Amino acid sequence: MKYLDEFSNPELARRLLERIRSATSRRWAIMEVCGGQTHSIIRHGIDQLLPDRIEMIHGPGCPVCVTPLEVIDKALEIAAQPGVIFCSFGDMLRVPGSHKDLFRIKSEGGDVRVVYSPLDALQVAKANPDRQVVFFGIGFETTAPANAMTVYQAKRLGIPNFSLLVSHVLVPPAIAAIMESPDCRVQAFLAAGHVCTVMGTGEYPPLAEKYRVPMVVTGFEPLDILEGIRRTVEQLEAGRHEVENAYPRAVAAEGNPAAKAMLEDVFEVTDRAWRGIGVIPRSGWRLSDEYREYDAEHRFRVGDLHTAESSVCRSGEVLQGLIKPHECSAFGTLCTPRNPLGATMVSSEGACAAYYLYRRLDLPAEVAHA
């Protein structure tokens, strides 16, 4: 299939691996920020094909994984209310809150619906004017434009029974937080190609300069990732710390101006808590004053919830690249995709789920052969 097969060509992959091997003279630790890249790296065994001296550290770029527990609990509280239709992408339904998940709310009679676009939720609102319809708007800069467009349309079309439960997060402040951590081992970044498709590359040169780390904008297919790693290693070996675009078929330096204008109109920057990591200043978006009436938190006045994380889950350390998933004692035993204790085991972009699905030999023998 065009655009998939041609970016998975084994011969080209071998050549790129050889170039990486011959360029590598010492140990390097490179973080792929995006969960989609983590999934691709583990699925295709790229980390196992790389020279031993290159370690891939999996970053916090899985939107489902970093949505804070408090927001999940608010979603559960809103979804359980009579008269509410709660719409979400499917992967949020199994994310554990403090005591239950959205599937449980649905089984208890809540009207929880899976949609494929926030605009579908707006249609549900139009068709049910006597009900309150809420869309769970989470994710990075990638998913935010569609959510912004939906709120913009709700206001323009005068659909008062629609609202958005917002928990958007931003990549550049997360990179800064990772680099400021005293335990940080990251020496270079593969920047997330789809985020840069929206936002462009302009936010990254100051970060590369401040922290003296190469940043290579990278795609998601195996050859994309190998090319991103090759360019990163060549910069590291040469002592350079520049921003390079290895994904020019999707990313322009200025990003998508129409999407950025919509984001600027509908959202404003705010401090945001990241699940397992904590509050990162100015690392998220919320609805701006002009659209505040469409904010579900404002409309339903959910607040002051007492949250309780699993005591065994180490997803915060996984998300910061401090441990690999199989180093958590619950991995593959107490915690599996069917019975996840943490969000990193739920989403297909979560590192724990990727290790479970593609790296079964790391499981205890009785589980791996079950």
User: By beta-carbon distance, which residue lies closest to ligand SF4?
Assistant: 342
Written as six digits, the tokens of 370 are: 């079950």
Q: From the CB of 309, what's the least distance to ligand SF4, in Å?
A: 9
Q: Is residue 169 within 8 Å of 274, Cβ to Cβ?
A: yes
Strands (E), the chain: 28-34, 54-61, 84-88, 111-114, 132-139, 162-169, 188-192, 215-218, 243-245, 267-274, 278-287
- Give the whole-angstrom CA distance, residue 210 versus residue 212: 6
Q: From the CB of 43, what's the least distance to ligand SF4, in Å?
A: 17
Which residue, among 47, 53, 1, has the nearest Cα to 222 in the 3D structure?
Answer: 47
Nearer to ligand SF4, 35 or 325 (CB): 325
Nearer to ligand SF4, 241 or 314 (CB): 314
Q: Cα torsion for 108, 95, 169, 299, to the nearest 10°?
A: 10
Q: From the CB of 313, what's the least distance to ligand SF4, in Å?
A: 3
Kindly identify the residues of this chain, within the stretch 10-29, that bind ligand SF4 according to CB under 6 A. Answer: none
Nearer to ligand SF4, 164 or 363 (CB): 363
Q: Is residue 135 within 8 Å of 106, Cβ to Cβ?
A: no
Nearer to ligand SF4, 203 or 349 (CB): 349
Written as six digits, the tokens of 282 are: 């100015």
Nearer to ligand SF4, 159 or 313 (CB): 313
Nearer to ligand SF4, 5 or 183 (CB): 183
Per CB under 6 A, 69 contacts ligand SF4: no
Q: From the CB of 42, what's the least distance to ligand SF4, in Å?
A: 14
Nearer to ligand SF4, 59 or 340 (CB): 340
Q: From the CB of 60, what's the least distance to ligand SF4, in Å?
A: 13
Q: What is the number of residues in the chain?
A: 370
Q: Calculate the alpha carbon distances from 172 to 8, 59, 193, 248 in Å.
A: 29, 12, 13, 20
Contact range with ligand SF4 by CB under 6 A, out of 151-159, 259-267, 297-305, 306-314: 306-314
Nearer to ligand SF4, 42 or 236 (CB): 42
Q: From the CB of 337, what's the least distance to ligand SF4, in Å?
A: 9
| Cβ neighbours of 106 (radius 10 Å) | 17
Q: From the CB of 341, what's the least distance to ligand SF4, in Å?
A: 4
Strand partners for 29: 55
Among 79, 84, 352, 363, binds ligand SF4 (CB under 6 A): 352
Q: From the CB of 276, what's the least distance to ligand SF4, in Å?
A: 8
Written as six digits, the tokens of 184 are: 């940080």
Nearer to ligand SF4, 159 or 318 (CB): 318
Site string for ligand SF4, 135-154 (x = CB under 6 A): --------------------
What sign does the CA torsion over 205, 210, 216, 219 have?
negative
Site string for ligand SF4, 307-346 (x = CB under 6 A): -----xxxx--x------x--x-xx---x----xxx-xx-
Q: From the CB of 311, what's the least distance to ligand SF4, in Å?
A: 10
Written as six digits, the tokens of 303 are: 């607040």
- Give the whole-angstrom CA distance, residue 234 versus residue 365: 39
Q: From the CB of 351, what's the least distance to ligand SF4, in Å?
A: 8
Count interface residues toward ligand SF4 (CB under 6 A).
16
Nearer to ligand SF4, 198 or 330 (CB): 330
Q: Calculate the alpha carbon distances from 49 to 16, 216, 338 in Å.
A: 11, 20, 29
Residues that bind ligand SF4 (CB under 6 A): 312-315, 318, 325, 328, 330-331, 335, 340-342, 344-345, 352
